[in-house]
Amino acid sequence: MSKIDFTHRVAVVTGAGGGLGRDYALQLAARGAAVVVNDLGATTTGSGQDKAPAEAVVRSIVDSGGWATASYDSVATRAGAEAIVAAAMDHFGRIDVVVNNAGNQRNGRIEQLSDEDFDEVLAVHLNGAFYVSQAAYKQMIKQRYGRLIFTSSASGVFGNYIRANYAAAKAGLIGLMHSFALEGAYAGVLANALLPTAASRLGQAPAHAILPEWEAFQPEKVPGIERIGAKIRAEYVTPLVLYLASERCTSSHGMWSATGGRYARAFVGVTRGWLGPSGRPPTPEEIAANLAQIEDRGGFTEPHTVAAELADVARISIERGA
């Protein structure tokens, strides 16, 4: 099996000053990529700024014989995002990979979240990923090549406690990824979403936000966690990121889970459902009466566009003569 190699490729990793992003940047560089190490150096809630984290990662890469430059811009503004992509173009002449990893948190119970708590989290996770990816995408379609990775979360797909703002942002990234995947396909620009689980600063909740339910679902309370606890680390997520960022990857439009050493594809499916009466809308009572068929997962489709779901319904209508 040939080695996945990033020689002559240029990668941008946002939030690369520590945790998952740091490991992505180091491993991309170790395999030949020139890396823009972006990190604002803010706290987990998004306040402050510190150049040291990004500079330390760049120093590690350069001292190992690799190529890297630091970016201290915020992804949460269009100007900051464009500056990040400009750093790649100015220093290395192209941009092949974007790993949207930058994040923050403003945890709290739903009734406690302020407008600022909600908006600030969406600004970094969702708006930031759009700004950076859009700027990079414009270059990628000219090159006819690109790999975009959006760091979503199981919180956005399955839900989580005390993180309604975070879950909303991460769910939004799924829709964003789908659109980039569809529009970029003609130019060889692939887009995928990552659902990583790893110990990080964003995994901690403030004491005032703790719920009894949250306590019950902390990793140490999960039966059998001792079997995988050592694998809830960045180095177990990075291999999937490297694959999705590589030329070897031909998959797009997907959600990929890296959790405790298990790698899996998550997907959205639609049951075959119940086809309502011809010539009129169904009544709510008919919906209730046919709920078992509506929910039956014995057969399902995995539509990749709105049109594909409509086509499925049309096909079922033909099959049933409705």
* Domain spans in the chain, listed from the N-terminal domain onward: 10-266, 270-320
Structure tokens at 55: 């500079």
Residue 241 CB coordination number (10 Å):
27
Q: Quick one: which of 16, 265, 247, 29 has its CA closest to 146?
A: 247
> Quick check: 201 pLDDT over 70?
no
Q: What residue type is assigned to position 8 of the chain?
A: H
The pLDDT of residue 208 is 47
The catalytic position among 166, 186, 236, 243 is 166
- For the chain, the average pLDDT equals 92
Place of tokens 């150096």: 41
248 CB contacts (<8 Å, ≥6 apart)? 4
* Position 160 confidence tier, pLDDT thresholds 50, 70, 90: confident
pLDDT digits (tens, 9 = 90+) for 117-156: 999 999 999 999 999 999 999 999 999 999 999 999 999 9
131 counts as catalytic: no
Model's pTM, two decimal places?
0.91
- Alpha helices, DSSP H only, in 144-277? 154-158, 164-184, 212-216, 225-228, 234-244
Q: How far is CA 241 from CA 73, 198, 244, 248, in A?
A: 23, 13, 5, 12
> Quick check: 116 pLDDT over 60?
yes
**Is 107:166 a contact under the CB 8 Å cutoff?**
yes
> Quick check: 165 pLDDT over 60?
yes
State the fold for domain 10-266.
Rossmann fold (3.40.50)
